[in-house]
Structure 1
Amino acid sequence: MSSTKPNENISFHCMDIDDRILKAIAKLGWEEPTAIQEKAIPLLLEGKNVLMRGRTGSGKTGAFAIPIIQKVIISSQVNDAKGPKALILTPSKELSNQIYSNILQLTCKCSQEVTCVDISPQVEISHQKSLLIDQPRIVVATPIRALLHINAKNLILKDSLEILVIDEADLMFSFGYEDDVKKVLRHLPKVYQAVLASATLSEEVISLKKLVLHNAVILKLEEPDLAPLTQLTHYYLNAEEEEKAVIVYTLLKLSLIDGKIILFVNTVDRCYKLKLFLEQFGILSCVLNSELPAASRCHVVSQFNDDVYKIVIASDEKAIESDLNIGQKKTGKRKKDKESGVSRGIDFQFVSAVINFDFPIDPFSYIHRAGRTARGSNKGTVLSFVSLREQHLKDEVEEYLKDGLREKCNIFQKYKFNLEEVDGFRYRARDAWRAVTRIAVREARLKEIKQEILNSKKLKRYFQENPRDLQSLRHDKALHTVKLQDHLSDVPDYIVPSSLKNIISIDKNDKKKDTNIKFKQGKNKAFKKYLAKKKDPLQGMEFTGFGEMEKMEEL
């Protein structure tokens, strides 16, 4: 087993990588390799089998994608046999799409020599046959889709395959792919290079290692499961159901959260309840869960990364499964797409804050939710609401995370929020939260699913020919299953906390009947201190408690 130590300042230029790949890396803004890339890339270029374990955001995708592209370039130069050189298996369509996009970015300067396709979308295999006729060099797929094309003779690997990658290996068996993976392995050549990438070294990974890897090098980062406390700040706030709604409404409506946000809840129903609650105040958000079509899920992630959307409400996959299995038969109405993953493996980029509206059900769920932010060298913040019945879950998470720290200290900082200062918001939020009934949630779910299916199939060609009409494809539109009152999107001056009136100004747009919050320019100490705190990805979290503003103004 080999361990890696981060930040030894070895550049990509020292790794004997093709200049075209180096140019693509520079275009992506990767200044130096991450710890896992530093160790894995040279080993993979040497032809070693590697099991790499690293936390979310550690750069595992680049660690195996760069060597694959390098090897394909070399093969094309020696006129090697045509056919796929690399097969990358992932447990979800979203992750396949993400890896495919990353490979396209890394091959922007050598796309003729290095071709790549993603066959994970769940469409008729005859529609994807044309993608494989040209014999792409890299194929990305879920195990079940790869097996379908192998059985249909569209994908032949025995004569050409050199590298097999299994990403998020610790999820493969839990997603029900054990038999599919074993069947795919029967169609591979006797000798090939193999890579397993995983966030944990679970029993499932060990089982896969026995199946796939021989004489493997095991790379395990010498780092905790999450970014260090200097990079990722953890806040908690004791709050019950309606109090959570008040706080989220206040933070979002007063623009006290800076940047892009992911709100996590524990069930699909909760996704829509929170979305319907926010839309009553003119706060737009997208829902991301396993019930939506795969193309829509990938589109949401892509548009979020392109700054089209600022707020995503996501459901945790483990909680969805537990919700389905309680008091329901296996043939129940709610069906989860087993090739979907939300909290794991999806590369949401530049997420400023993760808000756990519902506290995660176990430490691993917390880790993977929190891992959506503070990726690479970026800073991030996590705010977790904790109800009385969730207190034991928070204690479990803190104990687990403390075990990975060299110096024992408190993981969670208490976030001070004075509800008395936002009484105007509280009364509004309470009524709006209660207005979102079960019937409204059910209608919203049906409406969005129908809308997404229509958009992804019926109107695809139309929107290609009429790009201006793409506005109707937005995923953050109001669902209108709860009566909207125009005045709720407005923020009257009298409900703004007095401690913030020297900081923000209200800009009302009569045409849109909405309110824009702007931060005043000033020379007082309070404002200067506030601006200093604003450098934190979540400006409101660092500046805890509205009441503290008054104290600062007295200084």
Structure 2
Amino acid sequence: MIANTSTKHSTQRKKKAKAISKSSSNDDEVIVDEDAIKSLPVEIKPSEGKSKKPDDEVSKLKFHEMGLDRRLMKSINHLKWPQPTAIQEKAIPLALQGKDILSRARTGSGKTAAYAIPIIQTMLGLKEVNDVAKTLALILVPSKELSQQVTQMLAELLSSCADSILCLNLAASESDGGNLSLNATPDVVVGTPSRVLAQFTAGFLNLSDIMWLVIDEADLVLSYGYEEDIKKVVLQLPATYQTFVTSATFSNDINSLKNLVLKNPVLLQLEETALPTSKRLTQYHVICDSEDDKYILMYALLKLRLIQGKTLIFVNSITRCYRLKLFLEQFSIFCCILNSELPVTSRLHAIEQFNKGLYDYMIAVDESQLFSESTKVSKRRQKASKEFSVSRGVDFQKVSNVLNFDFPKTIQAYIHRVGRTARGYSSGMALSFVSGAEIALLEEAQGELGNDQCMRPYQFAMKEIEGLRYRCLDAMRLVTKQAIKNARLRELKIEILNSEKLKGYFEQNPRDLQVLQHNSILRPSKIKSHMKHVPEYLIPDALKGVLPQRKRKRRFNESSSEAHRKRSEVNPKYQKRKEDPLKSFKIVK
């Protein structure tokens, strides 16, 4: 049952609703108020299981005070959301009043649930009156990965009423480029603008009954060149519908979109920092004298277990992605890679496995900054990277650490990368490797973020791990340009085969999806066994006795040898060999 609200809370909510209603007609803004590491060893432990209530996101309105359906409340309780986030507290009551909303909030603020909850709540009420199969809600997203993420969030919110509302992800079958034959009319459709337009043109989708239009990550949608597709989709919509537009930034393109789809919208612009405060997100940087120091430091952090928990590693190019993976594999540090070259289905499955905790390390290529106007790249390469962004639009769950192996070239890229951790009510850590050529970018980022968000120096004693240098340099010599090229070709072949199995065989055998792994070894040669462990004489003195000891093989001793001899004598094969004079011949002195 839904908890009863007191008269005091009811009066306060009415006053808030009146104030917001007055401001919405004039497009007014609704504002919401919201130790350096000294020496080695440093052990950064994951905090993914601890969800503390942040001081900067204290909300007053509870979910049970919003008058939500009991089935929707049951799903929210199952998700273990203690209370609405700041954007949810302000957006849900306004959406239930039928207002158009233009919201700006940082990554991980709960924007998806902010528009999904009121849509489901109103749709459940309509279903009780007239349960006619119609497509009522259309959600436009910039990428296939985000389409999967939104669909999963809707499925979780509909867990207690899945029989009443049907949700469809149009990007699920987009990898083969074919049309999707709709066996049942979905109530909610999620997809990229191009995919929605293609299905409408093919006659598989009816948009004449749409009551809700959502454009999620609108700035990213426009940056991918979907503006014309959105205009064509809007022409097919009815005269009246409610619109939600969410964006991380407001630009001139957003203003043009606002005039196209929004009518007297309420502007929700949360007064908050670009990243969570230092109480939840700890940021460090370490200066590396050379490129080799980056690889040595990465090896030390992972192999000596100075960083624990799920870790997302960002690089600036696909070549460096494979170089780092091949380097780590030589020390039996296995990780998954994520870039635009991989098939869509493989990328989605790799993200799903990472979120489930099947492996702890993922190397992701941030390609959002590689295709600026001043950069000349082939059209084929741009097409491969379209609709793909790792730093944005992908829901990495319970990430404890973010490592910037290559420092991002813009402050926006840094914010979106680091925003992959410390999401919701969790805390996290971000560590950036900075070479001599990247110091200017570091100083620019520190100036933009301010004192509270400042990246503190990571005081790592490089002299303590100097003994690891020769091992790392030997491993780096094997990572040649030809080895990287062969690894990329082999990875593509493997993932394409896996992608075909996923869309064919694994549709009939969903349990076999668990067998498919995306952290396979790229190097065809055998990994040297002695590189798997760090010799005790190379371990820094401060860490001796802290790291788990390697299990040694049992030494030869006479007692074990005698026992083995007695067991052999009982064996019938031994008796037969003993009777053969050619095999039992002994030299007598």
TM value normalised by structure 1:
0.86
2:484 aligned residue: 441
2:133 aligned residue: 82
Deviation at 1:345, TM superposition (A): 2.1
2:335 aligned residue: 285
- The residue matched to 1:145 in structure 2 has which SS? helix
For the Cα contact (< 8 Å) 1:422–1:495, is it kept in 2?
A: yes
2:50 aligned residue: none
* Counterpart check, 1:385 vs 2:385: no
Question: Which has the higher Rg, Structure 1 or Structure 2?
Answer: 2
Distance 1:409 1:157, change over 3 A: closer
1:552 aligned residue: none
1:18 aligned residue: 69
Deviation at 1:203, TM superposition (A): 2.3
* Counterpart check, 1:205 vs 2:264: no
**Contiguous gaps of at least 5 residues in structure 1:** 403-407, 512-555
1:421 aligned residue: 464
Deviation at 1:458, TM superposition (A): 3.7
* Counterpart check, 1:164 vs 2:206: no
- The residue matched to 2:321 in structure 1 has which SS? helix
Q: Distance in 2 between matches of 1:81 and 1:27?
A: 29
Q: Distance in 2 between matches of 1:187 and 1:111?
A: 28
For the Cα contact (< 8 Å) 2:142–2:387, is it kept in 1?
A: yes
1:353 aligned residue: 401
2:321 aligned residue: 271
2:99 aligned residue: 48
- The residue matched to 1:129 in structure 2 has which SS? coil
Q: How many residues align?
A: 501
- The residue matched to 1:336 in structure 2 has which SS? helix
For the Cα contact (< 8 Å) 2:179–2:199, is it kept in 1?
A: no
Deviation at 1:23, TM superposition (A): 0.9
Distance 1:30 1:476, change over 3 A: same
* Counterpart check, 1:107 vs 2:150: no
Give the CA RMSD over aligned residues. Answer: 2.0
Distance 1:156 1:459, change over 3 A: closer
**Contiguous gaps of at least 5 residues in structure 2:** 1-28, 34-56, 555-589
**Structure 1 range deviating more: 361-370 or 271-280:** 271-280
Any idea what the Cα deviations from partners look like across 1:250-286, whole Å, max 9, x if unmatched?
Answer: 1111111121000000011111111111111101101
- The residue matched to 1:303 in structure 2 has which SS? helix
1:3 aligned residue: 31
* Counterpart check, 1:134 vs 2:168: no
Any idea what the Cα deviations from partners look like across 1:201-240, whole Å, max 9, x if unmatched?
Answer: 1222222111111100010111111001111111000013
Any idea what the Cα deviations from partners look like across 1:25-58, whole Å, max 9, x if unmatched?
Answer: 1111111000000000111111100011100000
Aligned pairs (5 A) from 1:143-292 = 143-158=193-208, 160-239=209-288, 240-292=290-342
2:538 aligned residue: 495
Deviation at 1:424, TM superposition (A): 2.9
For 2:517, which of 471, 474, 487 is the aligned residue? 474
Q: Distance in 2 between matches of 1:34 and 1:494?
A: 50
Deviation at 1:423, TM superposition (A): 2.4
Q: Distance in 2 between matches of 1:119 and 1:509?
A: 54
- The residue matched to 1:4 in structure 2 has which SS? coil
1:506 aligned residue: 549
2:417 aligned residue: 369
- The residue matched to 2:180 in structure 1 has which SS? helix
1:59 aligned residue: 110
* Counterpart check, 1:295 vs 2:345: yes
**Aligned residue identity for 2:550:** D
Q: Distance in 1 between matches of 2:61 and 2:278?
A: 25
Q: Distance in 2 between matches of 1:244 and 1:265?
A: 12
Distance 1:449 1:509, change over 3 A: farther
For the Cα contact (< 8 Å) 2:142–2:393, is it kept in 1?
A: no
Distance 1:76 1:207, change over 3 A: same
- The residue matched to 1:452 in structure 2 has which SS? helix
Distance 1:435 1:326, change over 3 A: farther
For the Cα contact (< 8 Å) 1:440–1:482, is it kept in 2?
A: no
Q: Distance in 2 between matches of 1:300 and 1:325?
A: 32
For the Cα contact (< 8 Å) 1:267–1:319, is it kept in 2?
A: no
Deviation at 1:480, TM superposition (A): 1.3
- The residue matched to 1:173 in structure 2 has which SS? helix
Q: Distance in 2 between matches of 1:470 and 1:443?
A: 27
Any idea what the Cα deviations from partners look like across 1:175-205, whole Å, max 9, x if unmatched?
Answer: 1111111111111111100000111112222
Q: Distance in 1 between matches of 2:550 and 2:444?
A: 44
Q: Distance in 2 between matches of 1:80 and 1:459?
A: 35
**Aligned residue identity for 1:98:** Q
2:7 aligned residue: none
Q: Distance in 2 between matches of 1:54 and 1:459?
A: 35
Any idea what the Cα deviations from partners look like across 1:297-347, whole Å, max 9, x if unmatched?
Answer: 11111111111121110011223425x974544356x75231222110211
1:304 aligned residue: 354
Q: Distance in 1 between matches of 2:343 and 2:442?
A: 33
1:517 aligned residue: none
Which structure has more relative contact order (CA 8 Å, sep 6+)? It is 2
Deviation at 1:8, TM superposition (A): 2.8
* Counterpart check, 1:38 vs 2:89: yes
Any idea what the Cα deviations from partners look like across 1:328-374, whole Å, max 9, x if unmatched?
Answer: 44356x75231222110211111111000000010000000000001
- The residue matched to 1:308 in structure 2 has which SS? coil
Deviation at 1:471, TM superposition (A): 6.2
**Aligned residue identity for 1:172:** V
TM value normalised by structure 2:
0.82
**Aligned residue identity for 2:408:** P
Deviation at 1:493, TM superposition (A): 1.3
1:535 aligned residue: none
Q: Distance in 2 between matches of 1:166 and 1:63?
A: 13
Q: Distance in 1 between matches of 2:395 and 2:362?
A: 13
Deviation at 1:468, TM superposition (A): 7.7
* Counterpart check, 1:313 vs 2:341: no
Any idea what the Cα deviations from partners look like across 1:60-90, whole Å, max 9, x if unmatched?
Answer: 0010111111122111111154211100000
1:536 aligned residue: none
Distance 1:148 1:127, change over 3 A: closer
